[in-house]
Amino acid sequence: MDLDLRKLRYFVTVAEELHFGRAAERLHIAQPVLSRQIRALEDELKVQLFVRDKRATALTAAGRQLLEDARPLLASAGAAQRRVTQAAKGPQTFTIGFMPGITVTPAVRALTAQYPDLTVELLRTSWVDQTEVLRDGRADVSIVRLPIDQQGLTVRPLFDEPRVAMLPADHRLAGKPVIRIEDLAHDHLLQPPDAVPEWRDVAVELREGKTGRLPVFHSVEEKLEHVAIGNGVSVLPLSTARFYSRPDVVRVPIEDIGPNHVHLAWSAARRSRIVYAFADLAAGLTWT
């Protein structure tokens, strides 16, 4: 049986909304049409994907599994469509994703020197989408900061760099030449604890269950605004901290925390000579 990508898109939208009416609005189709498409998908798969009653819509175990599998399938299909469209347009364009604080100019110059007719575009990414831009075809390669989900990707190391604590200027530790991660045990971390596992091991708020819900930050600038007004602290790679320096936020080295690992990543399905050429060029550069 071949999966219908349109039905998969319908399914993912309903799974994200858990409400057929809102999902139909997002898809710009009538709700009865959406319901029929989901029933048709369930018939094809011979499973129930949703449990519905008058109060709520919920995913079944089969629905949760399909959601996990459907997103990368749809992203791969979208990536293929973008690449085909781009190939038909010409001249060839090469898009490089990069995380905040990383300077890609030397790598771009090296690539365009080797391919003078190539149009290079740059796409700044974030912790949320640094690999998604590869899966959905927005970028040909992405300079990423680990950890990432490496499934379906080829990953090559570029460099490591220290991480530092970002503190409000009036913080008790501001001005210290160096600190230990345990010095931040009583502070609120403005990022997911898994991003700084060393802090997780000592954090008082985690032991007491007082973390609350983290705000969603769409940029480093937003995170540093929260640091500056005293809502918490953050741990950033040194290059990012230097790039976004400001007088009301100070950076302090942390002596007992591991470095941030910066890698180049691209889709493992890609067989592009330009991707391989860029990977070789990037690996030969001095990044720090």
- DSSP per residue over 47-95, as a string? S--EEE-SS-EEE-HHHHHHHHHHHHHHHHHHHHHHHHHHHHH-S-EEE
- What's residue 153's pLDDT? 94
Mean of pLDDT over the chain: 89
Q: Is the pLDDT of residue 138 over 80?
A: yes
Q: Is the pLDDT of residue 162 over 90?
A: yes
Q: What is the token pair recorded at 253?
A: 């080295």
- What's residue 97's pLDDT? 97
Which tens digit of pLDDT belongs to each residue from 168-208?
999 999 999 999 999 999 999 998 888 888 998 899 888 87
Query: By C-alpha distance, which of 34, 103, 109, 151 is closest to 287?
Result: 103
- Domain 5-73 matches domain 163-258 at the CATH topology level: no
Q: What is the token pair recorded at 249?
A: 């936020």
Alpha carbons 116 and 109: distance in angstroms, whole number: 10
Alpha carbons 166 and 145: distance in angstroms, whole number: 18
Which tens digit of pLDDT belongs to each residue from 206-246?
887 766 666 667 789 999 999 999 999 999 999 999 999 99
Average pLDDT on 94-120 reads 94
Which tens digit of pLDDT belongs to each residue from 15-37?
988 989 889 888 888 888 899 98
- What's residue 212's pLDDT? 60
Q: Is the pLDDT of residue 254 over 90?
A: yes
Alpha carbons 182 and 192: distance in angstroms, whole number: 17
Are the C-beta atoms of 31 and 21 separated by less than 8 Å? Answer: yes
- What's residue 78's pLDDT? 75
The domain limits of the chain are 5-73, 91-160+261-283, 163-258
Instruction: Give the rounded percent of residues in the chain with a pLDDT score beyond 90.
Output: 58
Superfamily of 163-258 according to CATH: Periplasmic binding protein-like II (3.40.190.10)
| Topology annotation, domain 91-160+261-283 | D-Maltodextrin-Binding Protein; domain 2 (3.40.190)
Are the C-beta atoms of 44 and 81 separated by less than 8 Å? Answer: no
Q: Where are the alpha helices (DSSP H) in 90-181?
A: 105-114, 132-135
Average pLDDT on 248-276 reads 94
Q: How many CA atoms lie within 13 A of 198 on its CB side?
A: 17
Question: Is the pTM above the cut of 0.85?
Answer: no
Alpha carbons 142 and 125: distance in angstroms, whole number: 8
Are the C-beta atoms of 156 and 274 separated by less than 8 Å? Answer: no
Q: What is the CATH number of domain 5-73?
A: 1.10.10.10
Q: What is the token pair recorded at 30?
A: 């009538």
Q: Is the pLDDT of residue 1 over 70?
A: no
